[in-house]
Structure 1
Amino acid sequence: MKMLTRLALNNNKKNKARSILIMLVIFLSTTLLSSIALICYGSLKYQKDNVKELYGTFYGAYKGVSEEQIAEMRKRSEFTEIGKSAVCGEVESEATVSLQWMSEEVGMMTNLKEQLEEGSFPKAQNEIAGERRFFQKLGYENVKIGDEIKLSYRRSNQEKYQETTFVVSGIIRSISEELENQAYVGYVSEDFYTTHFSENARRYMAYFSLSEDLGLNSETAEIEAKELAEKCGIDAENVAMNKTYLFFVLSPDMESIMGFILIAIVVVIFSVLVIYNIFQVGIVEKIQEYGKIKALGATRGQMKALVFREGMMLSVIPTPLGILAGIGISCLFMNYWISNMAPFGAETKISAAYISVPLLLLCVLAVLATVWIALKKPMSTVKKVSPVEAFRYQGEGKRKKGICKGYAVMSPNRMMMANLAMNKKRTVGTMFTMGLSCVLFVVAVNYTRNVDIEYAARQDLPFGQFQIDLSYSTTDTAYPENNLDSVLKENPLDAQLVKDLKSIEGVTEVKIGKQLYAHDEKGELHSIAVLDRKLFEKESKGAGVLGTVDYEKASKDNAIFNGWSHFIADTGYEIGDTVSFQLGGMQGEIPYQGELQGAFGSINGDWAITEDTYKNLGFADAEENIGTIWVDCKKSESKNVEAAIKELLENKDHYELSSFEGEVESLDSMMAIMKIMGYSFLLLIGMITFMNMANTMILNVITRKRELGVLQAVGMTNQQLNKMLRNEGLLFTLGSIVISLVVGIPAGYGLFLYGKKAGLTGFDVYHFPGVEILVMIFVLAVLQIGLSFMLSRNVKKESLIDRIRY
């Protein structure tokens, strides 16, 4: 046994190139497996450890619930906790500000009580609590406990604002980063709510937790909640589940965990093929040595054990190093992730126990199993071959009898094709394993290409650096001047504003979008978005589109579209119905009848028509009915341009200003983590791909030193040798690229469709990763040509006699 171990060790030392390449592949595979496993484990454990602080402890909530329905809930033993919350009304402010009451149970279940920085939650009718940003939006920069504040408040948009005085009872710690145009909430007492709302008018958000005796998991909890809602007389569609809490407390969703498991399986399969290919490519050289050992008396079992030990010895050093590298990568990721998670929740418990020893041992076993599977075919080959066959072995088994077609004149390309044809299995195997690594690259790059922060931001701000929208209501009976019909007639976004915006230094382009209002047969007010061809086609490619959404047909038929497909049933119309409206703008109103041809997933309007339909109906004046203005400028000028825009808007009402930079910042934290994971995976896959290609070319030259020496002895020049090796490498690269494109592009598109269906941010319209694929092809070609050049130089350093005797 010691002799076999020494032989295996010496063989590995003798074949340094092969040994180093295998060790590198094992190291990278171990790094991938261990980092993926620890990131999965660490993220799940972190969330589970801090789930209450981050997401509260409630299972879900029922919206629009009455006191009688809550009484029915309290009768059922399935509910272990029930809390009430209610929206009390809105506050007059440039920002979206509202007042809310919540019971003590809701404060505990949502973890809001833990966020109280100082003071207490309101108890008296005139007390109020909120984040500092809430008070700042009302004009109170440095508010303190006990300070009096005044605000204008109303219960609904059927009432006028009334000035109300409050005493600050508590200040809540900000638990999220401030986003552009976000909403703000102030918390008032139960006395305030019951005083301002009659018993019949009170409607609550009922938070609840369910009994553990029900044996629910994260998938069945929502089904149970809907069934209980119906039993309590509550509309089942009005349930909102705390899905993230349920995911970590009840049981992790297998679909999410399977994603990690699937990646791990792909890594194992990929590693098996690469390690197998490294062993198999060099089998022509090694099999003759094994034949000599067998001729000296080694048994079949000993030959099998020899190859097995060679492979396993090569795992001794890279496996622990890969585990350490995996630990390092996972720790870096977890530290980054936790630091970015902190703004989204309460103070969380950051633990160092995100390294699972059993999981790492499982990774080690997986790597060793990977090496063992990769060695099975070489072990079987060595075990079966006889000493006589070993000296004749060429790696292709039995050769078919037939006529060998020759050429009167040989060239480097013909020599290349002859060599590849003689070793078909090796050629195909090499192309397949290299192609697989490129497939993984193409699939991964489809993910990273479509997770685009700027693209996601463009869903809300489709053009330029700034967007000015009309701010309006459609149901404000107390202040009808705030409704869209009045706002459009007031014309705050007029032609003079557009002209002034164009004159701002640094502005490169200003575009406008039109908007109309509509009164239906019941007299209700609706907003009508006017979409030009480019915006129409963009929205038609989004999620949730229904019916026939074609710009030419819509313009020809003067058709109309619903703006929110999810709520189309609430309108009373179906696709194909005739819609009757009184459309209006600055010019007055005109009767309209048109076919409802489709619905968009979500747009900035209740309904939509094309720009051509807008003109066909007589709304042709370019200076009227402006609903949106987009302003573009150089990124370096954005700060100065923003200040100038705000100055122009100072004396105007009914507008909302958004910036592209603000949209990007609001998405950046979440998307950055996803992109880091994607690009890290790409980097490791790319390294393994290069190792595989380098191994193929190095062993291809090493095992053919004698052949190349003979060819040069009979007249092949150094230039012809360079050309032959270069073309061989290019052919391998071309085959790999073809495989990667044929398999990788459909697989990558499938991943995109899954991401779009799952609602992943940035997955809306498919972007083919053409640039990334061209870069991959270019890099592979450059690396291959560089390797060919270095190997050719290395071969030529040895004399012809040494090569022929090799």
Structure 2
Amino acid sequence: MKTVTKLSEKNLRQNRGRSILIAISIILTTALLTIIGLSCNGLLKANKANSSALYGDFHGAFMNVGEEKMKEIIVRGEIEKAGVMANAATADLGKASGILAYYDQKARAMSNLKMTGHSRIPVEENEIMAQKAFFKNLGLKKPEIGDSVTVPYRIGAKGKVIKKAFKISGFLPDNEINDLKQTYGAVVSKKFYENTVPVKKRSYSVCFKMKNDQKMTENEMEESIQDLGKALSIPERNISLNKIFIMWDTDPGTQTVAVGAFVAAIVILFSIVVIYNIFYVGMVQKVQEYGKLRAIGMTRKQMKQMIFREGMILSGISIPLGLFIGFIVTKLFFVKIAGIGGTNKTVGEVISNTPLFSLPVLIGAGVLALLTVYLSMKRPMQVAAKVSPVEAVRYQEGTGKKRQNRKGCRQINLIRITQANLARNKKRTVTTILTMGLSCVMFIVIANLGGNMNPAYEAGKDVKKGDFYITLDTGLDDKTYPEKNLNRVQQQNLMDKNMTDQIRQIDGVTKVETGKWAVVNVKKKGGEGTSVIQILSKKDFDAFVKKELERGSADYDTMKNNNGVVYLWDHFFEDYGYHIGGKLHMEILDGTKKIPFSATVVGSANGHMDASWAMTEETFEKLGTKTDLTSEIYVTCRPEKKASVEKKLKELMDTSEFYHIKSYDDAYQEVQLSIGLLRDSLYALLFVIGLIGFMNMANTLITSIVTRKKELGIFQAIGMTAKQVRRMLQMEGLIFTGGTLVIALTLGNVIGYYLFLKCKETGMIGLNDYHLPLSEILVMAGILLLLQMVLSAVMSRKFQKESVVERIRYDE
């Protein structure tokens, strides 16, 4: 056995170039498998931690329950843990608004209520904790712990305003969303709640986590919460599901695991073909040597063991190195792999703090890499074992068992010599081209997606025209604060002619366009729903709705004559029981007034609008509304004035909490970042796979030169120049490259176009119009040609270092 091992070690040293190429391929394969495994495992951990950090560590909540019912919920056997919270009062903060709420210890933990600095939870009746902005709105310029502040509040929507002096016990973290919406929450003590709110008026929300959550699917969890609510006689409207947390808490990450397994399978299959081909090509030149070993007594089993140990020795060195490289790369780039890119600070911290080391994953990646090497060697082991001593002695590369007639030529040139060499072992040539072609096919397929992801198209969904989009940020059916609903806010005339005139007067503004929304109650399957209907001109209808039509025939002129409407969320069209030609009974809300409206559904579209329905201006004018329903403003300005215009617009928007502004440039940058992260991750994976494929071509060319060293020496002895040898090697490389490009450009573009259409149907980011990814194809072709030329030049230079006599005397 020691002799077989020594032979394996000698073979590896003797064929150092081939051994290095195989080792690099194994390292890259192992590193990729490690990155895939650790990333998937990290994503599962991060998403669970992330869902808890952002959405709370609870499955659901029962809201508006009395004190007796609250106590009954807490002791239920189906519940693992429960926390109690209650809104005590609403605070009047001038332009802003706030809620005074009480949380018990478990509710604070389950909702991830965080404090800053030396803060402590309010205990006494006069203690309060909130964001600093809450206190600044009450007149404290620099609030500090221990400061006194008078808070005006009222109990219930119609309660009297009461002013009470509080002592600041701590601060909640600042939140940009709260600042934008000008709504804040404050924490008060249990004493304050019980002494302020009468027993009969007390209403609690109980957040809870169910038992056996790991044994339930997402649907089973939701059903169990609904069943528990029924058993407790809690109305369905008072049952709140924490759906995102439920999804990550119950789902073992099937989709993430499936994607990871699919990518890993591609890497393994590709690596098997490449490593096998490198072994096979290397064995061609050693057939006679194997025959001699058989002739002196080596058995078939020992022949297999010799090849097997070659692979195991290389694996023993390469796999640990690949695992280390894979772990380091994952550690360095996990935030980008996760697709966060640091755009959200809270999520970014959770992602970056995710523990990535996983011994089972590393062992699994190592075993898969070892299995890949074994499967790659299985066929070469069988070939080596079948070598006959007699057949091996008279073996010449390119000959087989069947008698072949060799075709002669009156004249020979570089092209014919190149063709003869490649035809000498057609299997080796075809396999090399196919493996390289496969990696390039994958690149072209991904390029058909990545190259067609258009940030401008995706940004246009948020800001459909102009440079700035101003809209009203309101509710629709808020029973607690009805004054914040769209129909009530519209009565404030926030986007009337006076506002648009002020915008037009801003230096740099070239165009101001407006749009109208109306709140509409629609009787549909399962009851009545409140949504928004958008009133569109013919120009905007054709631009944003008609071209996105999925079903029906929505002609603007026909619509205005027949009170036609188009549903803008085609995915839910059938779920709500709608059908083309169906009649709908609607109520348009004109402030607090309801205007009945009978409409005909003429189409369904994916219009990417903020509304659910679209109607024509002419149809809307027939309704005779009194309120100015302008709810969106598009502003176009000169490019050099964008910054100053944005500043002026934001100053105008500060006059009301309901204004919301977004710039096209910001929307474009957000989309570009998301697309860039996705595209870069895919291209990085394909680059490594392509590199493994290139190792295959390098091995083929190197082996071709080594096996023909004597032949090329004779050619040079009879007159072939060094320049001609270099050109011949370049031609061989060009044939490999050309074959690779033919496969990639045909098969890759066909599969890529089909995948583009499928992904577009699912609404994948940025996909709309298709174009051939010419720039990506040219880059790929350029890299292939450059690598091939460099490889040919290096091998030619190395070959020319030996004298012609030494090459003629060379014996394999």
Range class of TM-score, shorter chain? 0.7 to 0.9
* Separation of aligned partners in 2, 1:461 and 1:34: 41
Q: For each residue in 1:656-713, what CA deviation from the matched residue of structure 2 results, as whole angstroms up to 9, or x when unmatched?
A: 2223565578889988876775454344334324333333333344434455556666
1:21 aligns with 2:25: no
Give the TM-score normalised by the residue count of structure 2: 0.78
Secondary structure (helix, strand or coil) at the match of 1:332 reads helix
**1:167 Cα deviation after fit:** 2.9
Moved more, 300-309 or 35-44: 35-44
The one-letter code of the counterpart of 1:185 is Y
Corresponding residue to 1:607 among 600, 613, 631: 613
**In 2 relative to 1, CA 580–678 (structure 1 residues): closer, same or farther, beyond 3 Å?**
same
Report what 2:748 is aligned to: 741
Report what 2:149 is aligned to: 148
- Judge conservation of contact 1:277–1:429 (CA < 8 Å) in 2: yes
* Separation of aligned partners in 2, 1:768 and 1:68: 65
- Judge conservation of contact 1:274–1:433 (CA < 8 Å) in 2: yes
Secondary structure (helix, strand or coil) at the match of 1:252 reads coil
The one-letter code of the counterpart of 2:186 is Y
Matches for 1:56-135 after TM superposition, within 5 Å = 56-62=56-62, 73=73, 76-85=76-85, 97-99=97-99, 101-104=101-104, 107-115=107-115, 117-121=117-121, 128-135=128-135
Report what 1:390 is aligned to: 392
- Judge conservation of contact 1:175–1:343 (CA < 8 Å) in 2: no
Corresponding residue to 1:731 among 735, 738, 742: 738
* Separation of aligned partners in 2, 1:602 and 1:86: 37
**1:13 Cα deviation after fit:** 2.0
1:187 aligns with 2:186: yes
Moved more, 195-204 or 692-701: 195-204
Corresponding residue to 2:781 among 777, 783, 792: 777
Secondary structure (helix, strand or coil) at the match of 1:29 reads helix
- Judge conservation of contact 2:487–2:518 (CA < 8 Å) in 1: no
Secondary structure (helix, strand or coil) at the match of 2:609 reads coil
Secondary structure (helix, strand or coil) at the match of 1:576 reads coil
Report what 2:516 is aligned to: 515
* Separation of aligned partners in 2, 1:380 and 1:292: 17
Report what 1:690 is aligned to: 694
* Separation of aligned partners in 1, 2:569 and 2:125: 39
Secondary structure (helix, strand or coil) at the match of 1:33 reads helix
Moved more, 219-228 or 478-487: 478-487
Secondary structure (helix, strand or coil) at the match of 1:656 reads strand
Report what 1:306 is aligned to: 306
**In 2 relative to 1, CA 686–727 (structure 1 residues): closer, same or farther, beyond 3 Å?**
closer
* Separation of aligned partners in 1, 2:672 and 2:131: 23
Give the TM-score normalised by the residue count of structure 1: 0.78
Moved more, 107-116 or 404-413: 404-413
Moved more, 763-772 or 436-445: 763-772
Report what 1:318 is aligned to: 318
* Separation of aligned partners in 1, 2:214 and 2:87: 31
- Judge conservation of contact 2:222–2:241 (CA < 8 Å) in 1: yes
The one-letter code of the counterpart of 1:512 is E
Query: How many residues align structurally?
Result: 787
The one-letter code of the counterpart of 1:530 is L
* Separation of aligned partners in 1, 2:654 and 2:39: 49
The one-letter code of the counterpart of 1:693 is M
**1:779 Cα deviation after fit:** 1.9
Unaligned runs of 5+ in 1: none
Report what 2:257 is aligned to: 257
Q: For each residue in 1:317-350, what CA deviation from the matched residue of structure 2 results, as whole angstroms up to 9, or x when unmatched?
A: 3222222212322332468889959942799899
**In 2 relative to 1, CA 745–11 (structure 1 residues): closer, same or farther, beyond 3 Å?**
same
- Judge conservation of contact 2:457–2:768 (CA < 8 Å) in 1: no
- Judge conservation of contact 2:83–2:110 (CA < 8 Å) in 1: no
**In 2 relative to 1, CA 160–246 (structure 1 residues): closer, same or farther, beyond 3 Å?**
closer
The one-letter code of the counterpart of 1:186 is G
* Separation of aligned partners in 2, 1:109 and 1:165: 28
Q: For each residue in 1:617-664, what CA deviation from the matched residue of structure 2 results, as whole angstroms up to 9, or x when unmatched?
A: 899xxx995722144665x86544422333465678963222356557
**In 2 relative to 1, CA 629–2 (structure 1 residues): closer, same or farther, beyond 3 Å?**
same
**In 2 relative to 1, CA 446–38 (structure 1 residues): closer, same or farther, beyond 3 Å?**
farther
* Separation of aligned partners in 2, 1:100 and 1:453: 42
Secondary structure (helix, strand or coil) at the match of 1:608 reads strand
**1:289 Cα deviation after fit:** 2.5
Q: For each residue in 1:485-521, what CA deviation from the matched residue of structure 2 results, as whole angstroms up to 9, or x when unmatched?
A: 54569615755345334x42xx7x6563522447779
**In 2 relative to 1, CA 683–295 (structure 1 residues): closer, same or farther, beyond 3 Å?**
same
- Judge conservation of contact 1:439–1:740 (CA < 8 Å) in 2: yes
Secondary structure (helix, strand or coil) at the match of 2:58 reads coil
* Separation of aligned partners in 2, 1:313 and 1:301: 18
- Judge conservation of contact 1:64–1:205 (CA < 8 Å) in 2: yes
**In 2 relative to 1, CA 592–310 (structure 1 residues): closer, same or farther, beyond 3 Å?**
same
Moved more, 527-536 or 195-204: 195-204
The one-letter code of the counterpart of 2:32 is L
**1:143 Cα deviation after fit:** 2.2
The one-letter code of the counterpart of 1:278 is I
Secondary structure (helix, strand or coil) at the match of 1:77 reads coil
- Judge conservation of contact 2:29–2:268 (CA < 8 Å) in 1: yes
Q: For each residue in 1:514-552, what CA deviation from the matched residue of structure 2 results, as whole angstroms up to 9, or x when unmatched?
A: 22447779999955253776786667898xx87437677
* Separation of aligned partners in 2, 1:427 and 1:553: 64
**1:296 Cα deviation after fit:** 3.1
Unaligned runs of 5+ in 2: none
**In 2 relative to 1, CA 165–398 (structure 1 residues): closer, same or farther, beyond 3 Å?**
farther
* Separation of aligned partners in 2, 1:592 and 1:49: 49
Secondary structure (helix, strand or coil) at the match of 2:783 reads helix
Report what 1:356 is aligned to: 358
Matches for 1:671-710 after TM superposition, within 5 Å = 677-678=681-682, 680-708=684-712
**1:224 Cα deviation after fit:** 1.9
- Judge conservation of contact 2:213–2:250 (CA < 8 Å) in 1: no
- Judge conservation of contact 2:461–2:608 (CA < 8 Å) in 1: no
**In 2 relative to 1, CA 618–661 (structure 1 residues): closer, same or farther, beyond 3 Å?**
same
The one-letter code of the counterpart of 1:432 is L
**In 2 relative to 1, CA 547–354 (structure 1 residues): closer, same or farther, beyond 3 Å?**
same
Report what 1:35 is aligned to: 35
**In 2 relative to 1, CA 595–352 (structure 1 residues): closer, same or farther, beyond 3 Å?**
closer
- Judge conservation of contact 1:218–1:252 (CA < 8 Å) in 2: no
1:787 aligns with 2:791: yes
Corresponding residue to 1:496 among 485, 493, 501: 501
- Judge conservation of contact 1:121–1:169 (CA < 8 Å) in 2: no
**In 2 relative to 1, CA 751–317 (structure 1 residues): closer, same or farther, beyond 3 Å?**
farther
The one-letter code of the counterpart of 1:780 is L
1:295 aligns with 2:295: yes
The one-letter code of the counterpart of 2:24 is L
**1:593 Cα deviation after fit:** 4.9
Matches for 1:485-564 after TM superposition, within 5 Å = 486=491, 491-492=496-497, 496-501=501-506, 503-504=507-508, 510=511, 512-517=513-518, 527-530=533-536, 547-548=551-552, 559-563=564-568
* Separation of aligned partners in 2, 1:438 and 1:768: 18
Report what 1:369 is aligned to: 371
Q: Identity of counterpart residues, as a percentage? A: 29
RMSD: 5.3
Moved more, 641-650 or 92-101: 92-101
- Judge conservation of contact 2:533–2:611 (CA < 8 Å) in 1: yes
**1:377 Cα deviation after fit:** 0.8
- Judge conservation of contact 1:559–1:596 (CA < 8 Å) in 2: yes
Corresponding residue to 2:380 among 367, 378, 381: 378
* Separation of aligned partners in 2, 1:213 and 1:521: 37
- Judge conservation of contact 2:59–2:208 (CA < 8 Å) in 1: yes
- Judge conservation of contact 2:534–2:611 (CA < 8 Å) in 1: yes
Secondary structure (helix, strand or coil) at the match of 1:321 reads helix
* Separation of aligned partners in 2, 1:234 and 1:698: 76
* Separation of aligned partners in 2, 1:97 and 1:666: 30
**In 2 relative to 1, CA 737–561 (structure 1 residues): closer, same or farther, beyond 3 Å?**
same
* Separation of aligned partners in 1, 2:669 and 2:165: 34
